[in-house]
Amino acid sequence: MPLALLALAVAALVLLALLPGFTPRIDRRRHPAGLASLEPVPVGGTRQWLLIRSEDARNPVVLFVHGGPGTSVLALNRRISRALEAHFSVVNWDQRGAGKSFAAGRDPAGMQMARFVDDVIEVASHLADRFRQRRILLVGHSWGTVIGLLAVARRPDLFSGYVGIGQASRMAESERLSYDWTLERARAAADAAAVRTLERIEPPPYTGSDWRAKFMTERRLLGRFGGEYHGSRAGAFGVVLKSLVLGTEYTLADRVNFFRGIFRSVELLFPELYGTDLFVSVPEVRVPVWFCLGRHDWEVPAVLSARYFDALGAPRKELVWFENSAHLPNTEEKDRFNAFLIGTVRPVLVEHDGRTGADRARLSTNGLPASQFAAGRFGVSAVAGQGAAATGLCPGTFGWRCPMYRVRASIVVATVLFLSSCASLGMNSVQKLKRLSPGMSSDQVQAIMGEPKSSEMREDQWILRYTLHENWKGWVPYYMVFDRETRTLKTWYADEAEYQRMQAQMAETFKPVTDAAAPNQGGAAVPAGRNDPSLQRWITGKYYYFSSSMVVSAASERTLDLCEDGRFRMTGEFAASGRDPAWGAASQSGNRGRWTIAGDRLSGTITLTLGNGSSRNLRYQVASQAEQTMLFDGVKFAFAGRAVCD
């Protein structure tokens, strides 16, 4: 890494660390009773953070209780719920151990569900007292629906209504349904790697020292098949990451603690959460209830949530389906969700409170001026305590119109892109080797190292091949050697000779485009001639199947070896159930033959002549120089080193 780039990254981090968190202000000229406050409050002997936003602080209070456990949504909810600020006083709360309240979760004794339920009630009491309202609306999401509904059941006098998004109920059954659906989708997509991974971790309850890794693995694969965020192969990660990067509410420390909070909260709370059964513990509540369920939700399966809705007793209840959503309907269909709260829920709150609008307005402020009422009583003025917004840097503006926002966003984007690119490449993944020890089972090794690139049997040994990153060096091939019979780890080593060959070959393979093909008089790349020796040397190598975009059978390995002497070899069942029968035809003809090439170092055609004399054309195209990947007939393969055609 060049020192200049490193220095720039360090400077950006230092500058980012100096920037305070803030929330854009409400224009007080247009909304005299408006309120925009990001503030810490005392809760359960700790300091936890609230984000409060409203165009009129006399409106009904709605408290959002986030999911996870440990997943802060301060910035995300502020972005998606702006329409609510004209009709509610919108409160987002970072629970202990999450986001800005990460420090409040340092004591493991406080990381228990009963303590979180007490926190919900304490925060709700604070808000009711501060805004001089008898009751407030509680909106829970996922994990938040568990502690939220337990709080509502205990203190119905404190809540005017309850909205459950992705409503949890009987967690053991929920997790098993989620796992079964994910495995079914993996099999339907013929994603052999996903199937193997799910079968290896086995159905819940997850046990062993690596249970958290198993849980996170299932969630990652569920997201790949759209069970968390409908239509997305990455789940909700992109949405959450965007809000984390661009949200002005977070400081650098908050961003660092964001994922730490999730991992720690899951580790400390999920075992207790797994035993929760709201069918038993909360069979009825005494407030109006609404369930908002995504039709495609399999993180907390909506089919089970609907059964709980049918069983739950309430004076008034309504089930609302969001047909184009999975686990986050308030985000995936935010306009419909906001309209539902404004048009359906809010009128019921006024009715349930039993007071007229005039009475509510009079009792809200208790005769105090709007500015004094908005100031609150938690030691941080809700008007003057607006962080950077109060300094005049953001006079009533949002987003890129705010200079402070532009500075912060630019620094955050540049820094996070730099750091995330390093993380996405598995930077210094060789550190995982420190967790290995001889005698480990193959499952234990793969739980630490992940899926191997390939495997092979040699006499009494079973060998798994990995490619690990070493800082300042790059990608290095490593081999894990197991006893063939017991499948226990004997030793591991780096193949330095193979590393040097890979470096030399990749330097030739992925040269800059300007060096790859000289322009002719018209400015276009000059294609190499058929069987041009330099072009053959450029593409020669072993390639393995990289993505799950092609529906194939569950073959353990699919490779293409292109040897410099013009021979090729295929391994794996490329099209036993796939969409390209030519691969299967090649496999059935002995997997070997001769190859020629025409094109350039961007794209072209490889002609494969099979052992039976038949031939076919295979289109190639460079997919990613950084990832060292190639598209063969539109399917992504990764470069895996020296070709073997013997």
Give percent of the chain with pLDDT exceeding 70.
74
Reduced to 3 states (helix: H, G, I; strand: E, B; else coil), residue 87 is: coil
Give the per-residue pLDDT at 417.
Answer: 54
Residue pair 258/237 in contact by the 8 Å Cβ criterion: no
Give percent of the chain with pLDDT exceeding 90.
49
Q: Between 458 and 305, where is the model more confident? A: 305
Give the per-residue pLDDT at 290.
Answer: 98
**What is the pLDDT of the chain when averaged over all its residues?**
80
Instruction: Render the burial of 215-240: b for 16+ CB within 10 Å, e for the rest.
Output: bebbbbbbbbbbbbbbebeebbeebb
Runs of H (alpha helix) within 189-277: 192-201, 211-224, 237-246, 252-274
Residue 7's pLDDT band (cuts 50, 70, 90): low
Residue with tokens 């409203």: 54
pLDDT single digits (tens) 231-289: 998 899 889 988 898 889 999 889 989 999 999 999 999 999 999 999 999 999 999 99
Give the per-residue pLDDT at 279.
Answer: 97
Average pLDDT over residues 78-96: 97
The encoded tokens of residue 47 equal 């300091």
- The rounded distance, in Å, linking the Cα atoms of 294 and 330 is 9
- The rounded distance, in Å, linking the Cα atoms of 298 and 317 is 23
Average pLDDT over residues 59-77: 96
The secondary structure of residue 85, as a DSSP letter, is G
The encoded tokens of residue 497 equal 């000779």
Using alpha carbons only, what angle is made at residue 317 by residues 312 and 319, rounded to the nearest 5 degrees?
90
pLDDT single digits (tens) 323-351: 999 999 999 999 999 999 999 999 998 77
Give the per-residue pLDDT at 605.
Answer: 87
pLDDT single digits (tens) 388-447: 333 334 544 444 455 555 555 655 565 555 555 454 445 557 788 888 999 999 989 998
Give the per-residue pLDDT at 457.
Answer: 86
At 76, which amino acid appears?
Answer: L
Task: Judge whether residue 549 has pLDDT over 80.
Answer: no
Task: Judge whether residue 377 has pLDDT over 70.
Answer: no
Q: Between 9 and 191, where is the model more confident? A: 191
Give the per-residue pLDDT at 28.
Answer: 86
Give the per-residue pLDDT at 293.
Answer: 98
Reduced to 3 states (helix: H, G, I; strand: E, B; else coil), residue 24 is: coil
- The rounded distance, in Å, linking the Cα atoms of 145 and 163 is 8
Average pLDDT over residues 377-396: 36
- The rounded distance, in Å, linking the Cα atoms of 610 and 590 is 8
- The rounded distance, in Å, linking the Cα atoms of 456 and 470 is 24
Residue 87's pLDDT band (cuts 50, 70, 90): very high
Average pLDDT over residues 102-111: 94
Q: Nearest Cα to 35, choosing from 364, 423, 338?
A: 364
Task: Judge whether residue 386 has pLDDT over 50.
Answer: no
Q: Identify which of 326-330, 462-466, 484-488 has the greatest average pLDDT.
A: 326-330
The model's pTM is 0.61
Task: Judge whether residue 76 has pLDDT over 90.
Answer: yes
Average pLDDT over residues 360-380: 39
Give the per-residue pLDDT at 356.
Answer: 42
Give the per-residue pLDDT at 561.
Answer: 87
Give the per-residue pLDDT at 575.
Answer: 33
Instruction: Render the burial of 252-277: b for 16+ CB within 10 Å, e for the rest.
Output: bebbebbeebbebbbbbbbeebeebe
Give the per-residue pLDDT at 23.
Answer: 92
Task: Judge whether residue 99 has pLDDT over 60.
Answer: yes
Give the per-residue pLDDT at 245.
Answer: 86
Length of the chain: 646
Other CB atoms within 10 Å distance of the CB of residue 520: 10
Task: Judge whether residue 363 has pLDDT over 90.
Answer: no
Q: Between 591 and 170, where is the model more confident? A: 170
Q: Identify which of 505-514, 542-551, 580-589 has the greatest average pLDDT.
A: 542-551
| Cβ-proximal residues to 207 (8 Å cutoff; 6+ apart), any chain | none
Reduced to 3 states (helix: H, G, I; strand: E, B; else coil), residue 469 is: strand
Residue pair 370/131 in contact by the 8 Å Cβ criterion: no
In the sheet that 489-494 helps form, which strands lie side by side, from edge to edge?
Answer: 454-458, 461-470, 474-483, 489-494
Give the per-residue pLDDT at 131.
Answer: 95
Task: Judge whether residue 218 has pLDDT over 70.
Answer: yes
Q: Nearest Cα to 412, choosing from 248, 265, 285, 577?
A: 248
- The rounded distance, in Å, linking the Cα atoms of 645 and 279 is 62
pLDDT single digits (tens) 158-207: 999 999 999 999 999 999 999 999 999 999 999 998 999 999 999 999 98
